[in-house]
Chains A and B, each alone.
Chain A
Amino acid sequence: MKALTNPLADEGSNVAGEYLARARSHIDAGRPREALAALQIAYGSDHSQATAHRVSGLADGLDARKTGLTSVRVAYLSDHLIGPLPTLLRAQSLLSGLLVESYVPDFDTWQQEIADPASRFYGSQPEVVILDLTLERLAPELVASFVGLTPVGVDDLIARTTQAITAAMDELRRRLPSARVLVHSFIAPSHPVLGIYDRLAAVGQVDAVDRLNASLRREARERGDVYVVELAVLAAAVGQRFFDRRMYVLAKLPYGGEGLAVIALEHAKYLRALFGCAKKVLVLDADNTLWGGIVGEDGVEGIRLNEDSPARGYLDFQRYAAELARRGVVLALASSNDQSDVLEVFRVRPEMVLRESDFAIIVANWKDKAQNLLDIARELDLATQSFVFVDDDPVQCARVRDALPEIAVLQFPADPLGATDALARWGWFDTLALTTEDRQRNALYRSDVARQEFARNAGSPDEFLDSLGVRLFVARLGPGSLARAASLTQRTNQFNLTTRRYTEADLQARCNDSSWIAMTARLVDRFGDIGTIGLMMLHLEDGTATIDTFLLSCRALRRRVEDALLALAVAQAQMRGSSRIVGIHVPTAKNTQTATFYPAHGFVSLDETADGGRRWVTTSQITFPAGVSVAYEGQGW
């Protein structure tokens, strides 16, 4: 008999209960921000289905505008019931600052919903469509009457199944051109009927499903904005509990509780990546997180870092963090220690995988952790919303969760060997592309810290800027910069005038359209090449240029780059015959610093937009700021 309760889960559940009650009273009292914080703490402390359900229900009382949440409309299309997937996704996404509204059609009506332009599905105006279909209904022969199928028959089944799905994809893309589509891949039976002969036979079940999935991936890639959710990978991680035949028999729900949890989490990863909520910074505690033991008590030589003991878990965790850093996650260290003790570990212990230089910033002191996290955010110029914090101490975890509920908090597990999985499974840092800038990001942030040193030693801010030697290189958006530009629209929240998120396919369409001017900007200063940091897109129509997108990576702020790029964008539009330049500002919880951008450059207020923004207009030229040089690079000028 398995133990009935796990004391830690109970503690989480009690904490959750308390915060759920608080959330309820905040909602009743009209305090949506406090309610959101309480709901985030509740679900952050306890990821049980019951808590997810309650959090999702109470989130009805949150107003996206008043709480700074980004609302996302999701619709599910499927040939079975999906049970609690929408509630789990809603609770999970709330942790990342997304408020998900879902449309779930009646049982097995997905084809009618797609075919009928007046369906409630289209009426729900989904931004993300999740297509979850099963072989049992699409191609039952592959599952239940496989023996006797000929090679040609199997090829035909694969082609017909692929065709059924691509027809759905194309219809969705035609009627909902800006929606993103997530398609579930298929899973072969865990016990193919031909057993060990399955892989040897001219046609095997596993091979047939592999080929079907491969053709699905190919079709998705060709279309752009269609992503294949690899269900088999999720099922392998969960094991037998992924599916639940009882639930299928009772309710046409194929998945078990654990399957539902990982599927909803996988959907949440896509939503985060698509809507600018992926995490960017990993803040690590040191004692009992990077190594076993406490350096202040056990000494530099006494801490445990051994490949041949459970302490290997710390080294594995360091290796994983180093990999994350190479894919563009910014590492920071926040430890309750004397700084000299922590630095000595890096210098003295050769087993350490992470080096001092792998961290953008190292903070070791005796201040409050939440305060240290705020200091790190200020130093790196990144919002705490983009932080993941890992600490072994439950008190510190609770403290940070309570003070900064927007931070994802992971308590380093009691068994260090489980730590890498405990972090990796959340996919907090997942993105839909990997760019050169991503791979160089830690070096960029380290040079930022050097710049700040330089700034502190410089005289006035103007003297600092003049001596920084800022040079901008502006290029036409093109094939080589699409991935980075899409990633900028998805990641940039602070200096982003309209916060419109685009995928590579969206941007490609604008490159091919002569009524658009789309440009990227690369920044170089005396400390080096910072990479592509800005994107400007203007739509030209009847003598008016509308600035659809104007954004800057936060690494480029406060050095007059925004002034130079606005002057350049306006000049480009004027050269193309636009006498009126219209700038749009859509306020969000995070882009307050852009509120005065257009009026400060002489634009006058025109009108309000449907999405709560304001349009500003000018017919003048904008003066280029002193101390910033601008050059064009690449083709098309």
Chain B
Amino acid sequence: MVSAIIRETVARMLGLDPNAVNEATVPSNLEGWDSTLFLELVLALEERLGFQFDADDIARIHSVGDIEALARVRHAG
């Protein structure tokens, strides 16, 4: 469920087909990527997920899998 929300949000922010996003997707490899878009993605994810990432965790996010791992930790905690 959490993964589905994350992938859908990433897809929408990047203009991708949701089915084309998986845990290996690395947003920064995509065309048009910049730091503003990254922060917008973080804010958009937090809005949908209902919690905030720690600043340190944000700096460590590379792939969609990283986001999912952080969300799972939050969800379990």
1/0 per residue, CB under 8 A from A, across B19-45: the answer is: 000000000000000011001100110
A1 on interface, CB distance cutoff 8 Å: yes
CB of B39 within 8 A of CB of A57, answer: no
1/0 per residue, CB under 8 A from B, across A41-69: the answer is: 00000001111011001000000000000
CB of A20 within 8 A of CB of B40, answer: no
* Distance of A304 Cα from B63 Cα, bound (Å): 53
A84 on interface, CB distance cutoff 8 Å: yes
Q: Which of A2, A81, A250 has the most CB of B within 10 A?
A: A250
Residues of chain B lying within 8 A (CB to CB) of residue A81:
36
CB of B40 within 8 A of CB of A51, answer: no
Chain A min CB distance to B75 (Å): 7
* Distance of A55 Cα from B18 Cα, bound (Å): 16
* Distance of A53 Cα from B14 Cα, bound (Å): 9
CB of A17 within 8 A of CB of B50, answer: no
* Distance of A131 Cα from B50 Cα, bound (Å): 31
Chain B min CB distance to A299 (Å): 42
Chain A min CB distance to B18 (Å): 8
Residue total for B at the interface (Cβ-Cβ under 8 A): 30
- If A2-B50, A246-B55 touch, does A17 touch B2 (CB 8 Å cutoff)? no
Task: Give B35-67 interface residues, CB cut-off 8 Å to A.
Answer: 35-36, 39-40, 43-44, 46-55, 58-59
B68 on interface, CB distance cutoff 8 Å: no
CB of B8 within 8 A of CB of A250, answer: no
Residue total for A at the interface (Cβ-Cβ under 8 A): 31
Extra contacts besides A2-B51, A84-B43 (11): CB < 8 Å: A4-B5, A4-B50, A4-B75, A5-B5, A20-B12, A49-B44, A50-B8, A53-B12, A83-B36, A246-B53, A253-B39
Find B39's partner among A50, A51, A247 (CB 8 Å cutoff): A247
* Distance of A450 Cα from B40 Cα, bound (Å): 53
A606 on interface, CB distance cutoff 8 Å: no
- If A51-B12, A247-B39, A260-B43 touch, does A3 touch B50 (CB 8 Å cutoff)? yes
Chain A min CB distance to B15 (Å): 6
Nearest to B5 among chain A residues (CB) is A5
1/0 per residue, CB under 8 A from B, across A245-270: the answer is: 01101110100110010000000000
Residues of chain A lying within 8 A (CB to CB) of residue B77:
1
CB of B35 within 8 A of CB of A251, answer: yes
CB of A17 within 8 A of CB of B12, answer: yes
Chain B min CB distance to A263 (Å): 13
A-B contact pairs, 27 of them (CB 8 A): A4-B5, A4-B51, A5-B5, A5-B50, A49-B40, A49-B47, A50-B47, A50-B48, A53-B13, A53-B40, A54-B13, A57-B15, A84-B39, A84-B43, A87-B40, A246-B52, A246-B54, A246-B55, A246-B58, A250-B59, A251-B35, A251-B36, A253-B39, A256-B43, A257-B44, A257-B47, A260-B43
Find A49's partner among B1, B43, B74 (CB 8 Å cutoff): B43
CB of B51 within 8 A of CB of A50, answer: no
* Distance of A173 Cα from B9 Cα, bound (Å): 42
Chain B min CB distance to A591 (Å): 35
Nearest to B10 among chain A residues (CB) is A50
* Distance of A249 Cα from B42 Cα, bound (Å): 14
A489 on interface, CB distance cutoff 8 Å: no
Q: Closest 7 interchain pairs by CB?
A: A49-B44, A50-B44, A246-B55, A50-B12, A257-B43, A84-B40, A50-B9
Chain B min CB distance to A496 (Å): 37
* Distance of A261 Cα from B16 Cα, bound (Å): 24
* Distance of A49 Cα from B59 Cα, bound (Å): 21
Query: B interface, by DSSP: helix, strand, loop or mixed?
Result: helix
- If A4-B75, A20-B12, A83-B39 touch, does A250 touch B50 (CB 8 Å cutoff)? no
CB of B2 within 8 A of CB of A4, answer: yes
Chain A min CB distance to B67 (Å): 13
- If A5-B1, A53-B12, A53-B13 touch, does A84 touch B36 (CB 8 Å cutoff)? yes
Residues of chain A lying within 8 A (CB to CB) of residue B1:
4-5
Residues of chain B lying within 8 A (CB to CB) of residue A246:
52-55, 58
1/0 per residue, CB under 8 A from B, across A456-490: the answer is: 00000000000000000000000000000000000
A13 on interface, CB distance cutoff 8 Å: yes
CB of A48 within 8 A of CB of B39, answer: no
Residues of chain B lying within 8 A (CB to CB) of residue A53:
12-13, 40, 44
* Distance of A84 Cα from B46 Cα, bound (Å): 14
Nearest to B39 among chain A residues (CB) is A251
Nearest to A82 among chain B residues (CB) is B36
CB of B39 within 8 A of CB of A13, answer: no
Chain A min CB distance to B33 (Å): 13
Residues of chain A lying within 8 A (CB to CB) of residue B43:
49, 83-84, 247, 256-257, 260
CB of A257 within 8 A of CB of B46, answer: yes
1/0 per residue, CB under 8 A from B, across A78-103: the answer is: 00010110010000000000000000
* Distance of A13 Cα from B53 Cα, bound (Å): 22
* Distance of A2 Cα from B1 Cα, bound (Å): 15
CB of A48 within 8 A of CB of B48, answer: yes
* Distance of A2 Cα from B46 Cα, bound (Å): 12
Residues of chain A lying within 8 A (CB to CB) of residue B35:
251
Residues of chain A lying within 8 A (CB to CB) of residue B40:
49, 53, 83-84, 87
Chain A min CB distance to B13 (Å): 5
Residues of chain B lying within 8 A (CB to CB) of residue A83:
36, 39-40, 43
CB of A250 within 8 A of CB of B13, answer: no
Q: Which of B9, B39, B49, B54 has the most CB of A within 10 A?
A: B39
* Distance of A250 Cα from B74 Cα, bound (Å): 21
* Distance of A87 Cα from B46 Cα, bound (Å): 17
* Distance of A250 Cα from B60 Cα, bound (Å): 12
1/0 per residue, CB under 8 A from B, across A431-460: the answer is: 000000000000000000000000000000
Nearest to A87 among chain B residues (CB) is B40
* Distance of A20 Cα from B12 Cα, bound (Å): 9
Nearest to A84 among chain B residues (CB) is B40
Residues of chain A lying within 8 A (CB to CB) of residue B12:
17, 20, 50-51, 53-54
* Distance of A179 Cα from B8 Cα, bound (Å): 40
Find A13's partner among B8, B46, B50, B52 (CB 8 Å cutoff): B8
Find A250's partner among B39, B46, B48, B75 (CB 8 Å cutoff): B39
Residues of chain B lying within 8 A (CB to CB) of residue A250:
39, 55, 58-59
Residues of chain A lying within 8 A (CB to CB) of residue B8:
13, 17, 50
CB of A48 within 8 A of CB of B15, answer: no
Chain B min CB distance to A53 (Å): 5
Nearest to A249 among chain B residues (CB) is B55
